[in-house]
Amino acid sequence: MNPGPRPISTNRYGAPHSRRAVNFICRAPQAQSVCLTGDFNAWDPRSHPMKQMPDKVWMLTLELKHGHHRYAFIVDGQLTLDPLAQGIARNDQGERVSLVPVS
């Protein structure tokens, strides 16, 4: 099983317009700052800062609507793919980004 970001609820057959909480986890122990960017925040590199946990991983829980979302981590200002993501696509700038399904 790919351990990328997953909805906290695993009900695949939920209402199509429902929202689900998704845990995003980034392993960058030496980073000074990590933000989450994606379709859901119009690729704003600063609006969703992640919090470093005691074990040094960066985490953010976000409610996302049903469907597929593109995202990436901004690690110290650099766009970074999630190595544990379930998929890869390109954003509208042509950069490779990660994919997460929410159902």
Partner 1 sequence: MKTTVAGKPAAHPASSTKKSAARPGGKIHPVVIYPFRQPGDYADLGPLYQWVASLGAQGKKYARPITVMDRKTFFANEGDKRFLDFRHSSVAHHSKILDRWCVDTCQMWYTGLGAALEQGAEGDVYWLIPGDFNYGTPVGQEILGRLHDLPEICLELEQDFCVGEITTDHRNSKQLIDTYGTFALLYNWFPAEAREIRQYTERPRSEFFALGHRFLREALLRRWYPYEQTVVLLLHAVSARLRISRFSVGNISDLPEGRESLAAVVQQVERTEGVLQSLWRERHQSGPGWIEHYRALGIQSEQVRRTALILLQTLLA
Binding site for partner 1 (CB under 8 A): 1-2, 12, 37, 42-45, 67-68, 70, 72, 74, 77-79, 86-97, 99, 101
DSSP character string of 29-98:
TT-S-EEEEEGGGTT-SSSSB-EE-TTS-EEEEEEEESEEEEEEEEETTEEE--TT-SEEEE-TTS-EEE
Based on CB atoms, which residue is closest to partner 1, 54 or 70? 70
Based on CB atoms, which residue is closest to partner 1, 59 or 79? 79
Based on CB atoms, which residue is closest to partner 1, 46 or 51? 46
**From the CB of 51, what's the least distance to partner 1, in Å?**
21
